[in-house]
Amino acid sequence: MHAWLVAIIVVVAIYVVLVLALIVSGRRVAAKELALLVPNLVLLFKDLLRDPAVPRGPKIALAIGIVWLVSPIDLLPEFLPVLGPLDDAVVAALVLRYLAKRAGIDRVRSHWRGDPATLATILRAARIT
């Protein structure tokens, strides 16, 4: 358990440093979006799970993706700089891509609570148009 606590502290510290670096460099909007990215993704996934218009298949994929993301077992340990969160990012992108194709991109957009430009960037990165 101690190793997980250290890993979480390291990941949070890196996250905070990145946000602060964006603020110091004068990119306050980017800093805000980075700071709110994870909470916005969690809210998006929660809302999509509760949406009755989302088919069962995408909801199952979403539940599996959430379990993967919160699971302490990863292919790449989280404390590895840059590489640690990579497997989580790939899983999140694949789940989001599947959801967008099956439930519809408009459904995903309707539940996004952050800046629409941030969602557009995420969708482009996941090759979802």
Selection from 99, 127, 122 nearest residue 40 by Cα:
122
The verdict on pTM exceeding 0.75 is: no
pLDDT, average across residues 30-34: 64
- The pLDDT of residue 115 is above 70: yes
Q: Which residue has the higher pLDDT, 54 or 26?
A: 54
Which of 36-40, 113-117, 123-127 has maximum average pLDDT?
A: 113-117
d(CA 109, CA 119): 8
Selection from 87, 99, 120, 123 nearest residue 51 by Cα:
99
Where exactly are the structural domains of the chain?
36-125
d(CA 68, CA 81): 19
Give yes or no for a contact between 83 and 114, defined as CB atoms under 8 angstroms apart: no
d(CA 41, CA 15): 15
Amino acid at 20: L
